[in-house]
Amino acid sequence: MLRRVVSIAIILLAALPLMAFRMPAASESGEKMLYDVRGAFVTARPDVPQGLVIQIDLLMDVAIRSTVRQKLLPRAILSVRIEETSHTPLMIGSRHAAKVTVKAISVSSGEPIAEGTFRTSVFLLNGEEADKGLAEKVADRISSEFRLLDGRPTIASALFP
C-alpha cells in the first residue's frame, strides 16, 4: 500500500512541470503588434541635447532601411519624442538617462495605432560620448520592440561582405 502511494506521489510530482506547459493556440499570432515601419521622426524639447536627437534619428533610419518584411503588415511611421533627459555625475563616470515616448502612426489613416513610454539609462566613463551612448540605447530599445534589424556593421559583416 505504501509503495502504491509513493508511486502516485512521484507521478504527480513529475507531472507538475508538464501541467505548467501550454502550447499556444493555432489562431494566436506572435506578431499582433508588428508593423512595417516606413519611417521615423524624432522630436524633443529645446533643453534636450541636439546631438542626442540627431544620433537617434540616424540610428532609427539605419534600422528601418535594414529591415525587410516577408509578410504584408500594416504600414506605420514612428513618432519618437524625447520627453526628458538627465545627467547624474558619479565618483567615476556619469549616468545619463532619458524618458522616451513612441507612437506608431498608421500610414493609411494617419491615426495613432500604438503608443508607449519607456525610460532608459547608460553609465559612461567618458561624458563626451553621452549622446552617442544614450542614442544607441534608445534606438536598440525601439528596434527590439518593433523588430527592426540593427543595420550597424559588425565584425561578421566586415569579414563576410
Q: Which of 149 and 145 is assigned the larger pLDDT?
A: 145
Average pLDDT of every residue of the chain: 82
Residue 59 cell numbers, joined: 540610428
Domains of the chain: 36-150 (3.30.160.150)
Return d(Cα 123, Cα 18) in angstroms, integer: 42
**Total-model pTM:** 0.72
Order of strands across the sheet that contains 36-44: 36-44, 75-89, 94-106, 112-124
Amino acid at 8: I
CA distances from 106 to 50, 73, 121 (A): 27, 11, 29
Strand ranges in the chain using DSSP code E only, listed in sequence order: 36-44, 75-89, 94-106, 112-124
Please state the φ and ψ torsions of residue 6, each to the nearest 5 degrees.
-65, -40
Query: What are the tens digits of pLDDT across the range 64-106?
Result: 998 888 888 889 999 999 999 998 888 888 899 999 999 999 9
Which pLDDT belongs to residue 26? 46
Mean pLDDT of 27-36: 62
